[in-house]
Structure 1
Amino acid sequence: MNVTRKPPVLVIDGDRFDDYEGFTREFSSLLDDHRWHGNLDAFSDILSGGFGTPEEGFTLRWDHSDRSRRVLGHRAQADLLRAALPHVHPDNARGFRARIAHAEHGRGPTLFDTITEIIREHRPGGPLPGNVVLTLV
């Protein structure tokens, strides 16, 4: 008898945080024996599996995602980019500053958009390894 197991469901609760640091804590609480410190490249690696997430993939259910969309908006995107600016290669600094200015003026992707895009890149059949199904509730 071949039994197909449903992938585990990990839940982010958008009512449990008010900023990116809170999102970082909320997501880290889902991980087994691993702590994520907020770097988005590391976030992508974690979603590939094996860094505290199930190797076989999982469903990531984001409850109260509309609230998260607001608190992880353009201002949060600008803040995150601004914090990273000192670490950007000088050749890329001008473009990076332009991204900050866009976010400060409410243009371009929000931080919520950036995070959900990273998650979606790890979808089944997506361009990056992993098997993550994102459900926004």
Structure 2
Amino acid sequence: MTTVYAIDGRRVQTLEDFWRVIGEAVNGPGGYFGRNLDALHDCLHGGMGAPEDDDYVFEWRHHEASRRNLGYTETARQLKFRLDRCHPSNRPLVKADLRAARAGTGPTVFDWLTGILDEHGKLRLA
């Protein structure tokens, strides 16, 4: 039987909200399930925070609310954070991504997250 972890998209207005909501879905209040994209990949591969049983899926309910909230404005905000912390050799790429987000093009934070979850076969949009 597949375990379903519900993500309430109405509670996800920022990327930081997503980390909190997915952590709580899997591990209860204050629970951890990654705090960055690399950690999310690790958790889905059975790293820290992953459920013991591999037969689980994240059902992202009200995902359209999250899609709006995690759109280009949030993407630009996250890319600005990334630009401020990234290695100098990565700055040209991050700057280009930031320009694209500010212009309303390219992948969004929502796309990043759903892409990772879908890649692992762990996503159901509801």
State the TM-score bracket (shorter-chain normalisation): 0.7 to 0.9
Q: Secondary structure at the match of 2:25?
A: coil
Q: 2:125 — aligned with what?
A: 136
Number of matched pairs? 123
Identity %: 37
TM-score (norm 2): 0.87
Verify: 1:48 aligned to 2:17, yes or no: no
Q: CA RMSD in A?
A: 1.7
Deviations 1:105-137 (A, max 9, x none): 1000011011101111212xxxxxxxx2x1101
Conservation of the 8 A alpha-carbon contact between 1:49 and 1:57: no
Which of 19, 23, 27 pairs up with 2:22? Answer: 27
Unaligned runs of 5+ in 2: none
C-alpha distance in structure 2 between counterparts of 1:45 and 1:37, whole Å: 8
How far is 1:32 from its partner?
2.9
TM-score (norm 1): 0.81
Q: 1:99 — aligned with what?
A: 97
Question: Which structure features the higher share of helix residues?
Answer: 2
Verify: 1:80 aligned to 2:78, yes or no: yes
Conservation of the 8 A alpha-carbon contact between 2:33 and 2:48: no
